[in-house]
């Protein structure tokens, strides 16, 4: 297992376009998380999946954001009608549901909206 | 709501020396976990060390150790014998152990550590 994989690593898009990011967690991890990190800040929680169920969604996520985790495997995060304020690093992480204390993070997808 | 504060935006240390990064947090919970994560320039966050609040003994992982002061809500990270590879952004993080949203990490803003040769 190579850890948590995120694609693409970098994405530049024009304002108003839609973008989709993908996260492949560690295969035996049933919990998956998305965080957003802006310059000079620590990561902020966006959403959480237990298997395929999205159990919590932060108020940071406007209606333009949607996340899915079909079949409890990989996850996608879609941003519709991107805005310059969406420019950030989007981090995915995974963990088992028991017997574990921290997460395993991916390398992130850096989004730049121009 | 829980908050995590890292008051040192940047720190520097000479190679082979010791450096301490500070972290304070605010919570009404009594049972929780604290973490230090390292984020090198490649941007992947790596768990450095964790501390369970119910344990009085300070956690240690090789050259990394913490000073956990529960009453003061302080959780500092000491890096001994600093190496060039320790240069990174370090984040302090909190997670409640049980109850609602106990999977959620709350991070500080980070401390950028520079190691000088």
pLDDT for position A102: 75
Place of tokens 């049972």: B31
Closest-CA distance of chain B to residue A34, Å: 10
Give the pLDDT mean for B45-52.
Answer: 94
Average pLDDT value for chain B: 93
Instruction: Please state, in angstroms and as integers, the Cα–Cα distance from residue B82 to each residue in A21, B8, B14, B35, B86, following that order.
Output: 36, 18, 7, 19, 7
Closest-CA distance of chain A to residue B3, Å: 12
Interface of A with B (CB under 8 A): 31, 33, 35, 40-45, 48, 56, 89, 91, 93, 95, 101-108, 110
Closest CA in chain B for residue A32: B103
pLDDT for position A99: 64
| Residue A49: how many other CB atoms lie within 10 Å | 22
Provide the greatest CA pair distance for chain B. Answer: 46
pLDDT tens column, B66-111: 999 999 999 999 999 999 999 999 999 999 887 777 788 999 999 9
Dihedral of the CA atoms B20, B108, B113, B86 (nearest 10)?
Answer: 80
* Residue A45 confidence class, pLDDT cut points 50, 70, 90: very high
Closest-CA distance of chain B to residue A105, Å: 6
């Amino acid at each position: 297992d190579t850890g948590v994989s995120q694609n693409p690593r970098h994405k530049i898009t024009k304002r108003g376009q839609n973008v989709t990011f993908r996260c492949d967690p560690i295969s035996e991890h049933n919990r998956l998380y998305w965080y957003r990190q802006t310059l000079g800040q620590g990561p902020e929680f966006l959403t959480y999946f237990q298997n395929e169920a999205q159990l919590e969604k932060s108020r940071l996520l406007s209606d333009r954001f949607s996340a899915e985790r079909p079949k409890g495997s990989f996850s996608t995060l879609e941003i519709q009608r991107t805005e310059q304020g969406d420019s950030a690093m989007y981090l995915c992480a995974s963990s088992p549901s028991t017997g574990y204390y921290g997460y395993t993070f991916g390398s992130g997808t850096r989004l730049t909206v121009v | 709501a829980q908050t995590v504060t890292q008051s040192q935006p940047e720190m520097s240390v000479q190679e082979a020396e010791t450096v301490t990064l500070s972290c304070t947090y605010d919570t009404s919970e009594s049972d929780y976990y604290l973490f230090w994560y390292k984020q090198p320039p490649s941007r992947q966050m790596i768990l450095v060390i964790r501390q369970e609040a119910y344990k009085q003994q300070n956690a240690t992982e090789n050259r990394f150790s913490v000073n956990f002061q529960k009453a003061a809500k302080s959780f500092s990270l000491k890096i001994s014998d600093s190496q060039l590879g320790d240069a990174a952004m370090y984040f302090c993080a909190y997670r409640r152990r049980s109850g609602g949203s106990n999977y959620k990490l709350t991070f500080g803003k980070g401390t950028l550590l520079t190691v000088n040769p």
